[in-house]
Chain A
Amino acid sequence: MSVISKKFADELNEKEMRDAYLEEKTRAKLAQQIRSLRLQRNWPQSKLGSLMHKPQSNIARLEDRDIARYTLSSLFELASAFDVALVVEFVAYDEFLKRTQNLSPEHLQVQSFSRQALDPLCSDNTIIQLNDVIGRLSGTIGNLDRALSRWSNVSNRERVYLPNIQATPSTIYGQVAGTGFLSTNSPEAIVVQSGPTMTIATGSLPMTAISAVAPYGMAWITPNLLDSSLTYPRLPAHNPPTDPSPGDWHVR
């Protein structure tokens, strides 16, 4: 599935439209994510307000893209209250469109700080232990048709072999305990193959972790999943290993 329609791409050629869309989409994503993070923690607006030393009405405004007045200060206060990090950066439009493609509440959820999650950052980057690859995965799992359709649209895919995977396929639908990461800003799709079954999970924009599941499964990860600051072993496409040995990731 395309990120945007050709018509819209043409429309973005118009500077006024581009500027307006950038502002509206950014405001919408912020409002949606603030609400999503709050609901993820089961907090009423008043609880978030008390953490920020602000009245509940201020929180209601921050969750309304039409009236919110976002400042860097207010965003830092929110980041502190949720105990999550904040990224503010200028990017090219194609990147912006990809990153803001999915506004579903679950897609915008982010885990609070965890010391354990930092461990992989301290280890040898070329070898990532399986336990370091456990994290949180959310997103929508479509039916097989949708999955196959999505898969057919994943271009330039690369295969990363994740041996010794201990979870069951079903856990890909939910949260997996533990920490670890394959750092990413905007994963497009994660494909996990377990025996004859292939599952595709999409929509994990804010995730800093992926969990690949299925015993001795294969995970195909689109290139933008991979943090360029780390080196991951990759497999050439269409060449899955058949008899993986437990342990670290392997390249074949």
Chain B
Amino acid sequence: MPVWRIMCFHNERGRDLFSEAYARQTARARAKFRVTIEVLRDQPTIEGWSRQNGFDLLTGKKYRRYHGLGKIRFKTPDAAHRPLGFFGPVQGTFTLLVWATERDGQFDPPNVLETALHRMREVENNSGLANECNF
């Protein structure tokens, strides 16, 4: 049984926006994402959520405003994928918020950090928005 529970952000209308983005990815990206998540969810402690295992918390001055957000990291031949999420809303849970990519240190879409932050706040205020992923 996985140690961590992976959830997805659903908007107020119940749409699983993250899984919809997942479904639009190439087979290689979906496979890599799945495997990365499967590695992370089996880590016995939070220390296992490391860069080596495909995860980074957003830290440093540049990301001060986005404290609490983390990015799943993996590459495909065409892009460096960075799905964003956070630990919560309850202990032992990681909630995926939005799919992003990164090039030259810049996220794409450019406003994706704001979107992630907004969604994280929404989930923190209403844990019912974090639900089983539809993928």
Known: A7-B134, A16-B27, A203-B1. A28 touches B42 (CB 8 A): no
Known: A66-B75, A104-B43, A146-B1. A25 touches B35 (CB 8 A): yes
Give how many B residues have a beta carbon under 8 Å from the other chain's beta carbons: 21
A80-118 interface bits toward B, Cβ cutoff 8 Å, 1 = contact, 0 = none: 000000000000000000000011111100000000000
Residues of chain B within 8 A (CB-CB) of A103 are 38-39, 42
Known: A102-B42, A104-B44, A105-B44. A24 touches B35 (CB 8 A): yes
Residues of chain B within 8 A (CB-CB) of A102 are 42
Contact of B34 with A by CB under 8 A: yes
A2-45 interface bits toward B, Cβ cutoff 8 Å, 1 = contact, 0 = none: 00010110010010110111011100100010000000000000
Residues of chain A within 8 A (CB-CB) of B68 are none
Give chain A interface residues in 166-205, CB to chain B under 8 Å.
202-203
Known: A24-B32, A140-B1, A203-B1. A107 touches B42 (CB 8 A): yes
Residue of B nearest to A20 (CB): B31
Contact of B121 with A by CB under 8 A: no
Contact of A236 with B by CB under 8 A: no
Known: A17-B30, A32-B39. A150 touches B1 (CB 8 A): yes
Contact of A248 with B by CB under 8 A: no
A14 to B23, CA, bound (A): 13
Contact of B63 with A by CB under 8 A: no
Contact of B52 with A by CB under 8 A: yes
Residue of B nearest to A139 (CB): B1
Contact A140 B30 (CB under 8 A): no
User: B76 → chain A, closest Cβ, in Å?
Assistant: 9
> Which residue from A20, A63, A66 sits with its C-beta under 8 Å from B27?
A20
Contact of A247 with B by CB under 8 A: no
> Which residue from B28, B38, B39, B135 sits with its C-beta under 8 Å from A20?
B28
Give chain A interface residues in 142-156, CB to chain B under 8 Å.
142, 146, 150
Give chain B interface residues in 14-39, CB to chain A under 8 Å.
27-28, 30-32, 34-36, 38-39
Residues of chain A within 8 A (CB-CB) of B135 are 5, 7-8, 11
Known: A17-B31, A21-B31. A142 touches B1 (CB 8 A): yes
A102 to B1, CA, bound (A): 8
Residues of chain A within 8 A (CB-CB) of B134 are 7
Residues of chain A within 8 A (CB-CB) of B44 are 104-106, 140
Residues of chain A within 8 A (CB-CB) of B42 are 102-104, 107
Contact of B3 with A by CB under 8 A: yes
Contact B52 A63 (CB under 8 A): yes
Known: A7-B134, A25-B35, A142-B1. A105 touches B27 (CB 8 A): no
Q: List 8 A-B contacts (CB under 8 A).
A: A1-B1, A11-B135, A16-B27, A20-B27, A25-B35, A28-B39, A107-B42, A203-B1
* Shortest beta-carbon contacts, A-B, top 6: A20-B31, A16-B27, A104-B42, A21-B31, A24-B35, A17-B27
